[in-house]
Structure 1
Amino acid sequence: MTTHSVCVFCGSRSGQDPAYRAGAEALGEIIAERGWRLVYGAGDIGLMGAVANSCQMAGGDTFGVIPTHLLKWEVGKTDLSRFIVTENMHERKKVMFMNCDALVVLPGGAGSLDEFFEVLTWRQLGLHQKPIIILNINGFWSPLVALVDHVIEQGFAESTLREFFHVVDDVAGATEVLDATFS
């Protein structure tokens, strides 16, 4: 019986640093070992495929959500515990968000940035209290954190914005935040 669900936002590519893929695989394994459900973008390529395959290999429950127009591009992974096809990207993000208890952001591109900023904005507006964890593998997200700090310093957001997400350097750090959240 799955007790908690972790939504993972990440790239449909693996990136240049092998540590990104290793982190995705380790996170997928931890999600399965803890008995949590993986909620993710349903792709079978890049970090998306790595986190899902790792979770599945460890016996985990997987819930994938993909829009129709990305079924071929992201190689929709149809062997998941649950596989949902949406009409568009907005619906994908909504279904992923509504089916999770916490969010982890692995390295990724524009789509991962979009997903992060949408859930961060919703948190800022008081629409949810779910933890948002940035997995800053080898400093990948350090420029993003610096940008958020800059936005605050320049008066475009309250300093509390920085309190709405956790920045951790490795999967162990993400696991600590998730364990504390779910205990």
Structure 2
Amino acid sequence: MSVKSVSVFTGSKHGKDPLISAHVIQLGELLGQQAQLVRYGGGQYGYLKDLMNGVSNTDAKMEAIISSAYYKEDEQYPEFVSVIKTVTDIERNKQFSLSDAFIVTAGGDGTIAEATHMQYQNVSATYSNTPQKPIIFVNTNDYFNGLRTQYSKAIEDGYSDKERQANLHFVNSPTDAVKLLYPKSF
């Protein structure tokens, strides 16, 4: 599969672990060197800004997919970022789902909701015989261990199976995440 565009789900504010910020910046740089387009939730704060700063050092383009609830008319974006304003979350999720793959870094409720929505689409894909898309969690300092355990428990207890979770990946670094999508580049 050729990966031209990647959606990144990340936090709109910084957490307590400074390594996560460094990983998000590195992820932006690495994706910017490989992908033609990086989609993200817009905004110029928290890890969202870190991602944008990482991509800014490359030739890649970005799309900021912003819900009208969070859109600020006076917010200016660099030239390499196109802003797509959506009215509903359904419309916003559709924009993200256009990507060939998804990478998830530490974040809160919104970040996890976005990632699980894409996993729901992968489950639907198994029933319609369409390809699943990779969803890669960058598990910096074990941030996603609880989620990984929950997905394993769902298989163990018979609520899910390996086919449904075939494209869920948990890695420890941005480099590992990008290697999964672009193995020939490393």
Q: What TM-score does the superposition give when structure 1 sets the normalisation length?
A: 0.88
| Residue deviations 1:44-69 (CA, integer Å, cap 9, x gap) | 11111110122013343111110111
Aligned residues: 178
Residue in structure 2 matched with residue 49 of structure 1 by the alignment: 49
Q: Choose between structure 1 and 2: higher helix proportion.
A: 1
| Residue deviations 1:151-180 (CA, integer Å, cap 9, x gap) | 221221123333221111001101110103
2:6–2:35 Cα contact (<8 Å) kept: no
| Residue deviations 1:18-54 (CA, integer Å, cap 9, x gap) | 1111111001111222253211111111111110122
Kindly report the root-mean-square deviation, in angstroms, between the aligned alpha carbons of the 2 structures.
2.2
Residue in structure 1 matched with residue 168 of structure 2 by the alignment: 165
User: Which sections of structure 1, spanning at least 5 residues, go unmatched?
Assistant: none
Residues 1:35 and 1:110: Cα distance change in structure 2 (over 3 Å): closer
Pairwise mapping of residues 5-24 of structure 1 onto structure 2 (< 5 A)? 5-24=5-24
Residue in structure 2 matched with residue 176 of structure 1 by the alignment: 179
Q: Determine which of 153, 157, 163 is the counterpart of 1:150.
A: 153
In structure 1, the residue corresponding to 2:85 is in which secondary structure?
Answer: strand
Residue in structure 2 matched with residue 132 of structure 1 by the alignment: 135
1:140 and 1:28 mapped to 2: Cα distance? 19
TM superposition shift of 1:105: 0.6
In structure 2, the residue corresponding to 1:22 is in which secondary structure?
Answer: helix
Residues 1:76 and 1:146: Cα distance change in structure 2 (over 3 Å): farther
1:111 and 1:83 mapped to 2: Cα distance? 19
1:55 and 1:104 mapped to 2: Cα distance? 14
1:121 and 1:128 mapped to 2: Cα distance? 13
Q: What TM-score does the superposition give when structure 2 sets the normalisation length?
A: 0.87
Residues 1:114 and 1:76: Cα distance change in structure 2 (over 3 Å): farther
2:63–2:82 Cα contact (<8 Å) kept: yes
1:30 and 1:144 mapped to 2: Cα distance? 25
| Residue deviations 1:4-29 (CA, integer Å, cap 9, x gap) | 11110111011110111111100111
1:115 and 1:55 mapped to 2: Cα distance? 21
| Residue deviations 1:84-127 (CA, integer Å, cap 9, x gap) | 100022211111211x1111011111111111111111111215
TM superposition shift of 1:181: 8.8
Residues 1:82 and 1:160: Cα distance change in structure 2 (over 3 Å): same
The one-letter code of the counterpart of 1:11 is G
